Amino acid sequence: METLEETELCFPQLLNSSCVKTKRPHFETMLTYIVLFSISVLTAFLNLLIIISISHFKQLHTPTNLLILSLAVSDFFLGLLLLFQIMFIDGCWLLGDLMCNVYQYISYVMASTSVGGMVLISIDRYVAICDPMHYSIKITQKRVKVWVCLCWACSVIFEILILKDVLEQPGRYNSCFGECVFVINYIAGLADTIFSFILPIIAIVVLYMRVFVVAVSQARAMRSHITTVTVQGSRKVTAKKSEIKAARTLGVVVVVFLLCLCPYYCVALTGQDSVLKATAAASVLCLYYVNSFLNPLIYAFFYPWFRKSVKLIFTLKILQPDSCDTNIL
């Protein structure tokens, strides 16, 4: 049995009210620190490259890329938030109750915004593949900017309503100093799961199933040389091929997103109360953070423009005059 002297406290000066540190082997602790820190830095850095690329080069200012930009921004913040998760490896939260609530709230907002962004991407691909003749009319940069702003605003407001009781009294559920416990009542947790997960996921799956069916039929038509061989027809075929390729790439992003996000909400659905303690939810949270790390790698693998823009960034050619007009596609 451990004696009082052998027990490590989060706040030694608060002998009777401090939480006890979680003891792990030194090698395991250091390895966890290194892995999570590396993922955090790489996630923030890679998503920052996407943000700079799409923001700087005018050719990339398309409705679809604006949605990718919004997703990259939320992934960038999630990468930074992972640093706070690293601080909690030993079971001690040293930044106070207010920062605990701020950290958890921002995590909820980023998760909600990411899901909303995926829905918008699915709608964009649905219109591009299923109604290409009216795509440029229905999906404009101005409309996409409005949708993105509404997505972020709704996420911020919705999570304030869901987490109102917790945000009003920071640390109300902590049993000792150094603890970061987030408790949501059953009704709020159920509402958050339905509107931030179940309904959006249903919309994403239904839209992409439709996109997949239409894309496959179009691909078969092109392989069978059904389309005309006129110059105008050739341009239409090329457009269809590019849209199908974009749908396939973003489809991979959506699938990876679902695989990383589902465990988080499955854990939330299994409990009668949505009690999220950073130490208990570390595995599913880290899996969600890993998704933010994987997205830029998917873009790098499938999008030549991202690889070209990264090269221009690293060689500092984007600092040259009129570099924003560079042919990046």
Q: Which of 125-134, 277-286, 302-311 has the lowest mean pLDDT?
A: 277-286
Q: Is the pLDDT of residue 207 over 50?
A: yes
3-state secondary structure of 9: strand
**Residues 89-112, mean pLDDT to the nearest whole number:** 82
Q: Which residue has the higher pLDDT, 128 or 262?
A: 128
**Residues 215-232, mean pLDDT to the nearest whole number:** 57
Domain that holds residue 50: 26-219+240-325
Q: Which of 113-122, 181-190, 279-288 has the lowest mean pLDDT?
A: 279-288
pLDDT, one tens digit per residue, over 255-272 is: 777 777 777 666 655 554
Tell me, yes or no, if the pTM score tops 0.85: no
At residue 138, the pLDDT reads: 87
At residue 229, the pLDDT reads: 47
The verdict on residue 230 lying in a domain is: no
At residue 271, the pLDDT reads: 52
The verdict on residue 244 lying in a domain is: yes
At residue 154, the pLDDT reads: 92
The verdict on residue 20 lying in a domain is: no
Q: Is the pLDDT of residue 119 over 70?
A: yes
The verdict on residue 305 lying in a domain is: yes
177 strand-pairing partners? 18
Question: Which tokens is 114 given?
Answer: 């990411």
Q: Which residue has the higher pLDDT, 182 or 311?
A: 311
Q: In the chain, what is the straight-line distance between the N-terminal and C-terminal CA atoms, in Å?
A: 66
What is the count of structural domains for the chain?
1
- Supply the DSSP string of 210-265, one letter for each residue: HHHHHHHHHHHHHHTT-S--SHHHHHHHHHHHHHHHHHHHHHHHHHHHHHHHHHHH
Residue recorded with tokens 């873009």: 299
**Residues 91-119, mean pLDDT to the nearest whole number:** 84
Q: Which of 159-168, 207-216, 269-278 has the lowest mean pLDDT?
A: 269-278
Percent of the chain with pLDDT over 70: 80
The verdict on residue 178 lying in a domain is: yes
How far apart CA 274 and CA 268 sit, in angstroms, is: 6
The verdict on residue 232 lying in a domain is: no
How far apart CA 60 and CA 135 sit, in angstroms, is: 17
Question: The domain that contains 58 carries what CATH number?
Answer: 1.20.1070.10
The verdict on residue 101 lying in a domain is: yes
pLDDT, one tens digit per residue, over 50-72 is: 999 999 888 888 898 999 999 89
**Residues 191-213, mean pLDDT to the nearest whole number:** 83
At residue 221, the pLDDT reads: 65
The verdict on residue 257 lying in a domain is: yes
At residue 284, the pLDDT reads: 63
At residue 183, the pLDDT reads: 73
Contacts of 199 (CB under 8 A, 6+ apart): none
